[in-house]
Amino acid sequence: MVNTLFLPELREMLAQHNEVELREFCEALHPSRTADFMDGLTPDEAWQILKFADQEKAGEIFGFFEHSFQKDIIETQNRDEIAALIAELSSDDRVDILSDVDSEIKEDLLRRLPADDRRDIMRLSQYPEGTAGSMMATEFMKLSENLTIGDAIKEVGKQSEYFETIYYVYIVDDEGHLRGVVSARQLLAGLRSPQTKLADIMESALITVKTRDDQTEVVKKVARMDLLAIPVVDDENHIVGIITHDDVIDVVREEAQDDLVKSAAIEPLEDTYLNTSILTFSYKRGLWLLVLFLGSLMTATALQSYDRQLEAWAWLVPFIPMIISTGGNSGNQSATLIIAALVHGEVTVRDWFRVVTREIIMGILLGLKLGFVGYLIVVFLFPSVPGFPQVLVVPITLVMVILTGTVMGATLPLFFKRLGLDPALMSNPFVAGIVDILGILIYLTVAGLFLAPPELG
Amino acid sequence: MVNTLFLPELREMLAQHNEVELREFCEALHPSRTADFMDGLTPDEAWQILKFADQEKAGEIFGFFEHSFQKDIIETQNRDEIAALIAELSSDDRVDILSDVDSEIKEDLLRRLPADDRRDIMRLSQYPEGTAGSMMATEFMKLSENLTIGDAIKEVGKQSEYFETIYYVYIVDDEGHLRGVVSARQLLAGLRSPQTKLADIMESALITVKTRDDQTEVVKKVARMDLLAIPVVDDENHIVGIITHDDVIDVVREEAQDDLVKSAAIEPLEDTYLNTSILTFSYKRGLWLLVLFLGSLMTATALQSYDRQLEAWAWLVPFIPMIISTGGNSGNQSATLIIAALVHGEVTVRDWFRVVTREIIMGILLGLKLGFVGYLIVVFLFPSVPGFPQVLVVPITLVMVILTGTVMGATLPLFFKRLGLDPALMSNPFVAGIVDILGILIYLTVAGLFLAPPELG
């Protein structure tokens, strides 16, 4: 996808066993770029190349491969070598990757890992997907509040080879309860007074999440408070892991894509568009397409019950799709705005009165605007429409249908949220269905009011 | 919005001039939470309270207020005090905030700032919105490659009071060209060999952005490479700023919301839902609603031109909305999937052949599924439809309309992207418009093929 120009050269280097250049290839670039350049290789080829990097670099590059490619490599290559690689990966990444690997292979790999790593993986695997526990990593630095700054710096220096990045140093009491946090900056600045206790410089107004908290809670806190990392604690306030900014960005991006996809009535994907099989799509799309289809069946039934009127007033028929789509569009706009505001925490269910009031005003404004345009169009472009008062049927219907759209679009997402359902997935289909059928009923009722008297007369 | 329970107490403390408790309120919590608790106060009240915090803390809390509230405070409070606060804000935040302030007040405030800060603000204000330059901050640490680790640590300790967080230390040559980067971890670990030159430990495989790069480029790099911060360089590779992870999360969230809102044919908002005026909405929504309305006018014109057929075959009429919405829904699904994949870089314009092929297969599969359901429904629920072959009109139309939807939904976003237009905003209206009109034409053409012979016979 990114750059396949380099693949022939890589393959040539492999064929020639060109150790110098392959090592250079693995070491010279940021590991994410090395991984990008390897996109398109077979799992065998990629694994051969990674062997030219040192263990740590190989782990970093591997961590940037696409999920499905990681799985293919793990399932096909030498188990002992793969186990050594897994030991290098960060604690959260390897749990994610292993969760999709064939369970027999996973068992086999776990047996080959050092006992510490195995226990760590087993423990992290217990947390259900979507919780803070499932996002956290266990590479964090924990020091006693009784240490001095000088001791702490020595300890950090010693441990730093095990940690890729030191975001914060977490300070605990004798029972391991989280008491505070100290940044690398504070330690460096504290070099001038190495005898000071950590307890005296630590920040104790801590922001934490619990292992069972939902990932959206994590995102909200980290994004709102501009944190580099947030500590995860158990029910007794022992620190058990941290969630870092990069994992939060990933979740934000995934959730954004899910929300967008859901707005078009599609179940969220687990993989990229091109890696998702057509059969999976056919299920994820077909389900809601069918629901929407069955919903629109009601419009057919409603129209059928008005068949006599429609035969008598045939000039009404051409405007049906226009009226239905306009109502649907205004409802879709309102629903999407409310969903976006709910997702971002700008609006809560308690704001319903304000939201509905706004959307009623909105509906009337938009309705009058489009109703007026509709009036001009009917008068000037559709000679088939009889004169006054019939020319008013379409404009009046437009105002009412647009208002129905905004009100339904405002109400249903809040209603689904209140019921604990997912407004992003449920709202658009229901708004569309309800507005379609109400649109038909409004149109024919308005027509009936205007047209019945002349018929009787 | 968040928590207004505390407001009466805050107001009481203010009335009593309770210095101890108000200071405690400002200092005890994370500044973002303090800001949350103050939501609902008047600008006057908030400013009175901030005066109880020390200057630095006041700046932090202020930084977490909503944009419009910041503006209200700046425009109404004592200019000298406000200027002192602005000097405390981070270089990127204050440029953002000042950009919305009344220009006379802004000029007045700039005059009251120290010359350094004023120059910094003027320089950063030059970069157009949406570029890396407009996102960057100028608080970063820059050291010469000839320094030793020991010197560097002393320097960091000295400068650290000016920097909230040290993400990375950037290493430059004698002409100020960016040469490499050293992390706080590396410095701490390097304490054991203080004589080593920075040039020997720095990472020189650097990822940078240019001042004019688009913010989506920044997001892509930081998110893909899990960076804490990315350096911004000018055309001569001098480092001029950094963009940090928290600003990247903000952009990701904003862009996600924009994409969602655009998918419903609404121009992106500049503020939150509740803070956007109804008149602004009436414009941002009304414009595209009108475009869609005028598009659907074509369906009315098309239907009008078939008025004789529709009168003769009145049983066709009730199915019109169902056929149109089903085509629209399938098109909306495809378009949204492709847009989401484009936004996330999973798909590029060059993948068009693969994308279109997939969507053709998808359209046929979904079409056959819904066509079959449609057939059963027509046969069993709509006695008004004459027998064979007329019962086939609706099912065959459904297959073709769904296929039209997927093909248009796949093609148009790629087409708009190719033209340099915004696929997220343009695609849904155009897909809807084109699929609606094609749906009508397909329906009446299929009907014509099946119904003409019996009429003639």
The whole-number average pLDDT for the span B245-258 is 89
CB contact under 8 A, A189 and B260: no
**What's the rounded Cα separation, in Å, for the pair A109 and B26?**
52
**What's the rounded Cα separation, in Å, for the pair B122 and B108?**
14
The pLDDT, as a whole number, for residue B163 is: 64
Q: What is chain A's mean pLDDT, rounded? A: 89
C-beta separation of A162 from A134 below 8 A:
no
Question: Residue B237 — pLDDT band, cuts 50, 70, 90?
Answer: very high
Amino acid, single-letter form, for residue A344? H
The pLDDT, as a whole number, for residue A161 is: 64
- Fold topology of B278-456: Tetracycline Repressor; domain 2 (1.10.357)
CB contact under 8 A, B333 and A278: no
The pLDDT, as a whole number, for residue A224 is: 85
**What's the rounded Cα separation, in Å, for the pair A389 and B8?**
58
| Residue with the larger pLDDT of the pair A408 and A273 | A408
- Same CATH topology for A141-244 and A278-456? no
A426: phi then psi, degrees, rounded to nearest 5 = -85, -30
Q: Could you report how far apart the first and last alpha carbons of chain A are, in Å?
A: 71
CB contact under 8 A, A325 and B296: yes
* Architecture of the domain defined by B141-253: Roll (3.10)
- Report the chain B residue with the minimal C-alpha distance to residue A186: B160
Which of B140, B192, B249, B366 to mutate to probe the A interface, most A CBs <10 Å? B249
DSSP per position, B256-305? HHHHHHHHTT-PPPSS-TTTS-HHHHHHHHHHHHHHHHHHHHHHHHHHHH
Question: Residue B1 — pLDDT band, cuts 50, 70, 90?
Answer: very low
The pLDDT, as a whole number, for residue A1 is: 41
Q: How far is A307 from chain B (nearest CA, A)?
A: 8
Coil, helix or strand for B142?
strand
A157: phi then psi, degrees, rounded to nearest 5 = -60, -45
Measure CB to CB from residue A263 to each of B260, B301, B321 and give the nearest one. B260
C-beta separation of A234 from A210 below 8 A:
yes
Question: Residue B83 — pLDDT band, cuts 50, 70, 90?
Answer: very high
User: Count of CB atoms within 10 A of residue A417's CB?
Assistant: 21
The pLDDT, as a whole number, for residue B455 is: 47
Listed in sequence order, the DSSP H helices in A272-351 are 278-305, 307-312, 320-343
A250 Cα distance to chain centroid: 8
**What's the rounded Cα separation, in Å, for the pair A41 and A88?**
22
- Fold topology of A141-244: CBS-domain (3.10.580)
Q: How far is A353 from chain B (nearest CA, A)?
A: 12
ipTM, 2 dp: 0.81
Q: Among the listed ranges A141-155, A286-300, B74-88, B159-173, which one has the minimum average pLDDT value?
A: B159-173
Which of A288-297, B72-81, B305-314 shows the highest mean pLDDT? B72-81
Q: Does the pLDDT value for residue B449 go beyond 90?
A: no
Q: How far is A349 from chain B (nearest CA, A)?
A: 11
Q: Does the pLDDT value for residue B132 go beyond 60?
A: yes
From residue B53, give the alpha-carbon distance in Å to each of A205, B61, B77. 16, 9, 16
- Report the chain A residue with the minimal C-alpha distance to residue B360: A278
The whole-number average pLDDT for the span B229-242 is 93
- Report the chain B residue with the minimal C-alpha distance to residue A358: B278
The pLDDT, as a whole number, for residue A454 is: 44
Question: Residue B427 — pLDDT band, cuts 50, 70, 90?
Answer: confident
Contacts of A296 in chain B (CB under 8 A): 321-322, 325-326
Token pair listed for B248? 């990247």
The arrangement of strands across the sheet holding A239-244 comes to A209-210, A229-233, A239-244
Q: Does the pLDDT value for residue B400 go beyond 60?
A: yes
Q: Does the pLDDT value for residue A446 go beyond 90?
A: yes
CA dihedral B3, B9, B10, B15 (to 10 degrees): 150
CB contact under 8 A, B436 and A325: yes
Closest CA to B400 of B331, B316, B310: B331
Closest CA to A374 of A411, A331, A319, A438: A319
Ordered by start, the domain boundaries in chain B are 7-127, 141-253, 278-456
Tokens 């205004």 map to which residue? A330
* Architecture of the domain defined by A7-127: Alpha Horseshoe (1.25)
B408: left (phi over 0), alpha (psi -120 to 50) or beta: alpha
B90: phi then psi, degrees, rounded to nearest 5 = -70, 150
Contacts of B377 in chain A (CB under 8 A): 297
| Burial readout B113-136 (b: 16 or more C-beta within 10 A, e: otherwise) | beeebbebbeebbebeeebbbbbb
Q: Does the pLDDT value for residue B261 go beyond 90?
A: no
CB contact under 8 A, A263 and B301: no
Q: Does the pLDDT value for residue A457 go beyond 80?
A: no
Q: Does the pLDDT value for residue B456 go beyond 60?
A: no
Q: Does the pLDDT value for residue B454 go beyond 60?
A: no
Tokens 């050269």 map to which residue? A9
